[in-house]
Amino acid sequence: METKHHVHNLIILDESGSMNSIKNFVISGFNETVQTIRGIEKKFPEQEHYITFLTFNGFGIKQLHLADPVKDLTKLNSQTYQPEADTPLYDAMGYAITKLKLHLMNKTEYNVLVSIFTDGEENASEEYSAHAIKKLVEELKQEHWTFTYIGTDHDVLNAGTSISITNTIIFDKNEEGVKSLFLREKEARLNYSQRIRDKVETGEDYYKEKEANPS
């Protein structure tokens, strides 16, 4: 029996207080993303998709899944997602990335897609600095890890590039903006799995639109 290629989807979701105004839209969009990943796994049967998912704020980090099969992922709801407090982004990234990195130690034939959703810059981390996160990101980008930074209400491009993430999306902080964001995410994820199938580099142009086939 042929071994399937593992794709790990690491999602780091801001649960700080400022996310409260788009809470319901984010819950809906995240649950749609779950369905997207399940659909991608069916479309690309040679791939097995796994989810590592956590939320974070000034009260701590909530790890909801660690390398769980996508079929086992539970939906987000208003009880499991309650925005409040500050934004310790670097601590959340450091914790999640290191945890998954250790889980994948000595494993081969996998890709990792890291998606960071936030509406504000780092303002509360105690364990990890920008420099430490940048070093970690740069190391793992050489090992089939792709990083994306999705944000609003701050200088998203600068926040991403300061930690060596060039795949960025800026979204409007309203219902239409969040819906548009997750639609673009869906297309990018499909394209990403197609690139894995085609053995094409997946790193620095994650959000580049797929070129139409010539007529």
Q: What is the residue-wise DSSP string for 69-133?
A: EGGGPPPP-TTT----S---HHHHHHHHHHHHHHHTTT--SEEEEEEEEESS-----SS--HHHH
Paired with 5 in beta bridges are: 47
**pLDDT tens per residue, range 94-145:** 999 999 999 999 999 999 999 999 999 899 999 999 999 999 999 999 999 9
Q: Coil, strand, or helix at residue 3?
A: coil
> Taking the chain, what is the end-to-end CA distance rounded to the nearest angstrom?
38
Judge whether 137 lies within some domain: no
**pLDDT tens per residue, range 195-211:** 999 999 888 889 986 54
Candidates 11, 55, 21; CA nearest to 152 is 21
Average pLDDT of the chain is 94
Judge whether 44 lies within some domain: yes
Q: The whole model's pTM is what? A: 0.95
**CA distances to 18, 40, 85, 210 from 213, in Å:** 42, 20, 47, 9
**CA distances to 14, 120, 138, 162, 163 from 135, in Å:** 22, 21, 5, 11, 8
Judge whether 40 lies within some domain: yes
- Cα distance between residue 123 and residue 117, in whole Å: 15
- Cα distance between residue 16 and residue 123, in whole Å: 11
- Cα distance between residue 135 and residue 158, in whole Å: 16
What is residue 212's predicted lDDT score, i.e. its pLDDT? 42
**Number of domains observed in the structure of the chain:** 1
Paired with 65 in beta bridges are: 53
Judge whether 157 lies within some domain: yes
The domain in which residue 27 lies consists of: 5-131+142-172+188-198
pLDDT over threshold 50, residue 214: no
Judge whether 124 lies within some domain: yes
Query: The domain spanning residue 84 has which CATH number?
Result: 3.40.50.410
pLDDT over threshold 80, residue 158: yes
